[in-house]
Structure 1
Amino acid sequence: MGMSTAAMRYLLAIYELSHEGGPVRSVDIARELGVSPASVVHMLGVLSGEGLVSKRHYGRVQLTDRGIWSANQLYTKCTLLETFLLEELCVEPETAQRDAVACLCALSEESVEQIVCRVLETPVILRASGE
């Protein structure tokens, strides 16, 4: 996806707070992520520049269609990573939820896909290098 770790965390938080697309207040994003309002303003500028969110000055933030699609992709992978941590590794639920986000942000796309395929019990198709 080519997105920074911070952008992924913000996109996931907005998606969850918005109940998959509704408007969200910046203060709620800051509270959810434990960051300053200034950090939220900065990241919303980045996400807006990428076409993932729209925000009016002093207004609520809303995911664009592209933002909803991207956030849903991240959310789905995060949920499957959480399932892996819960079912395969017997991690406590709160820890699994937190660690799933951390894994999504830290692991390569290949590793995430391997875990997702394992959770879904889908055969993994190995790609030739260079694809």
Structure 2
Amino acid sequence: MEMHESGENYLETILMLKERMGQVRSIDIANEMGFTKPSISVAMKKLRENGYIEVDEEGYITLKDDGYEIATRIYERHKTVAQLLMLLGVKEETALDDACRMEHDISEESYQSLKKHYEFLVKNQA
């Protein structure tokens, strides 16, 4: 299945909520993303059918290997791009919003160059 930006956002949100709260249900995703519970249910069904998540009998959502790989890749991009933008003087709210858009569309080559530059700046910051 081709993963679209919306699917990546759902997986990333599941990962972030899992890190913050320990367990994740559809209602948590709906609250975090500002979507309706029915919209989230449809999305979770698609992610489950395509092998990205598991939902247990109590409604708790777990990322499967493929889902976890996508979520961590997107979340790492998000954090790195946002931190680089803030280091360059962009306000935090703007940097986080911009990073959310950029994380999906930037090429791997460009991302790796930005990441390398960010790491250099952090290492040499004094």
Per-residue deviation at 1:105? 2.0
Moved over 6 A (4+): none
Contact 2:8 2:70 in 1 (8 A): no
Instruction: Please report the TM-score for the alignment, with normalisation by the length of structure 2.
Output: 0.79
What is the CA–CA distance in structure 1 between the aligned matches of 2:86 and 2:95, rounded to whole Å?
6
What is the CA–CA distance in structure 1 between the aligned matches of 2:50 and 2:20, rounded to whole Å?
18
What is the CA–CA distance in structure 1 between the aligned matches of 2:53 and 2:7, rounded to whole Å?
11
The equivalent of 1:11 in structure 2 is 11
User: What are structure 1's unaligned runs of at least 5 residues?
Assistant: 122-131
The equivalent of 1:111 in structure 2 is 110
The equivalent of 1:35 in structure 2 is 35
Give CA deviations for 1:11-48 in whole Å, capped at 9, x if unaligned.
11110101189430111101111111121112112222
What is the CA–CA distance in structure 2 between the aligned matches of 1:77 and 1:7, rounded to whole Å?
16
The equivalent of 2:77 in structure 1 is 77
What is the letter of the counterpart of residue 47 of structure 1?
Answer: L
User: What are structure 2's unaligned runs of at least 5 residues?
Assistant: 121-126
Instruction: Please report the TM-score for the alignment, with normalisation by the length of structure 1.
Output: 0.77
What is the CA–CA distance in structure 2 between the aligned matches of 1:50 and 1:22, rounded to whole Å?
23
Q: Secondary structure at the match of 1:18?
A: helix
Q: Secondary structure at the match of 1:19?
A: helix
What is the letter of the counterpart of residue 95 of structure 1?
Answer: T
The equivalent of 1:55 in structure 2 is 55
What is the CA–CA distance in structure 2 between the aligned matches of 1:21 and 1:74, rounded to whole Å?
19
The equivalent of 1:91 in structure 2 is 90
What is the CA–CA distance in structure 1 between the aligned matches of 2:117 and 2:81, rounded to whole Å?
10
Once the two structures are aligned, what percentage of the paired residues are identical?
A: 29
Closer, same or farther: CA 20–48 of 1 in aligned 2, 3 Å = farther
Per-residue deviation at 1:99? 1.6
